[in-house]
Amino acid sequence: MRKQGLTPPILVGGAAVEFYTGGAVTTGDFDFVTPLQDEFFQELEKVGFGRPPPGRSPRIRIHVPSALGVEVVSGPLMDGRADMARVVEVDLPDGAVRLIPIEELIADRMAQALAGSRIDPTMRSQAVMLLALGSALDRAYLDRRIGEETGGEAGLATVESWAREEDFS
């Protein structure tokens, strides 16, 4: 996409968590955000991804030989609330990938953890793990983003208190 002068998509969700945790958390698909879904899918189709079977979401492409799935989950990152200057670009052997900033990922996991009537233990654990791995977090930004994503229900102090309760040994 970059070769065409287009802005590449941003990797979010479980695959971004997998990247940041060095594989401690694994996922079976890749979620991206991009306002250029059609162009992104054209590029995926050039490397062997196909359309999903009838009845599946049109926002998915599947690499049949590997059964890997790619989904465009939204257009703007965090529905436009994220600071795009914080997007991380990582060089890989076959090119670069843009990643959701770790602060946004923690805020997202916090919102998902608190979305139901009970705290989702998987999302809670991921938020705590990401917090522990974040070596240069912008704590003020993170606190603000957690508050925004959770509707004021939580903040940095919440995930820090969860971290004190977790045992990573």
77 belongs to a structural domain? yes
Residues 91 and 107 in one domain: no
Distance CA 14, CA 35 (A): 20
169 belongs to a structural domain? no
Distance CA 55, CA 109 (A): 29
pTM of model > 0.75: yes
Amino acid letter, residue 155: G
80 belongs to a structural domain? yes
**Domain limits for position 95:** 2-99
29-33/10-12 β-pairing: antiparallel
Per-residue pLDDT of the chain (169 residues; tens, 9 = 90+): 988 899 999 999 999 999 999 999 988 889 999 999 999 999 999 989 999 888 888 899 999 888 889 999 988 999 999 999 999 999 989 889 999 999 999 999 999 999 999 999 999 999 999 999 988 999 999 999 999 999 999 999 999 999 999 765 4
